[in-house]
Amino acid sequence: MTTIGIIGAGHIGSQVARKAVELGYDVVISNSRGPETLTDLVAELGPRARAATAAEAAAAGDFAVVTVPLKNYRDIPAEPLAGKVVIDTNNYYWERDGRIPALDKGEATTSGLLQEHLPQSRVAKGFNHIMAKDITTDGSPAGTENRRALATASDYPDAAELVTRLYDEFGFDTVNIGRLEDSWRVERDRPAYVKRQNAGELKDNLARAPRTI
């Protein structure tokens, strides 16, 4: 059975963990405060989940989900993620993260920054433009009329394919934006951000996105 290493146990990380164990995945989850602070969450998740350090979660996962504040992305352990797909949920909140000129000027993307930090990993954008609570409640079976769609982007086709498969299991269609350099189209405050939309609507919103806000 596939194990997901989740680095970050906040709103998105905990919701991804809940849905993953429901689907039969094993989960190793971490946060910045230490495994002992995740006792209640792991008890809720059940026997398929355990708490660990970030490095341990990275090493244990067949693939990983990184869901930490953007200002902390350089703290993600690179060595245990080498050769693995890493799903990045990051968004840039300058009020929290401080100003990052390359993002303000439209010269970089949040997931592109993580890819630079993890040069031996295959980063894909995922789960960044959906409210955390909707991850476990808003999915529907494939073929459902008006099924909600989420976007991904990656420089590696197999990473985008993994996100597409995971989205489908979680109950969502996928729109592939393309490379990470174009993932800004689904970042904060663009038309597709945290909005319920089907695949056609998502494509339209991606096309309307301005490069800078």
Measured between alpha carbons, how far is 79 from 8 in angstroms, rounded to an integer? 17
Q: Is the pTM of this model over 0.85?
A: yes
**pLDDT at position 119:** 98
Tokens 């008006």 label which residue?
Answer: 146
pLDDT in tens, the chain (213 residues): 699 999 999 999 999 999 999 999 999 999 999 999 999 999 999 999 999 999 999 999 999 999 999 999 999 999 999 999 999 999 999 999 999 999 999 999 999 999 999 999 999 999 999 999 999 999 999 999 999 999 999 999 999 999 999 999 999 999 999 999 999 999 999 999 999 999 999 999 999 999 998
Q: In whole angstroms, how far apart are CA 206 and each of 41, 75, 89, 176, 183?
A: 35, 30, 17, 10, 9
Burial class (CB in 10 A: 0-12, 13-18, 19+), 14: buried
Look at the alpha carbons of 165, 84, 45, 150 in this order and tell me if their dihedral is positive or negative: negative
Tell me what pLDDT residue 192 has: 98
- Cβ count near 25 (within 10 Å): 20
Separation of alpha carbons 171 and 144, rounded Å = 9
Strands (E) in 57-208, as ranges, are: 63-66, 85-88, 122-125, 149-153, 173-178
Tell me the three state secondary structure of residue 148.
coil
Tokens representing residue 85 in the block: 């797909």
Phi, psi of 105 (to 5 degrees): -90, 0
Task: Tell me how far apart the alpha carbons of residues 49 and 27 are, in angstroms, rounded to a whole number.
Answer: 5
* Average pLDDT across the chain, whole number: 97
Distance CA 54, CA 26 (A): 16
53's tokens: 């350090």
Neighbours of 67 (CB within 10 A): 27
Looking at residue 1, its pLDDT comes to: 65
- What region, left, alpha or beta, does residue 201 occupy, with left being phi > 0 and alpha being psi -120 to 50 degrees? alpha
Q: What is the 3-state secondary structure (H, E, C) of 163-189?
A: HHHHHHHHCCEEEEEECHHHHHHHCCC
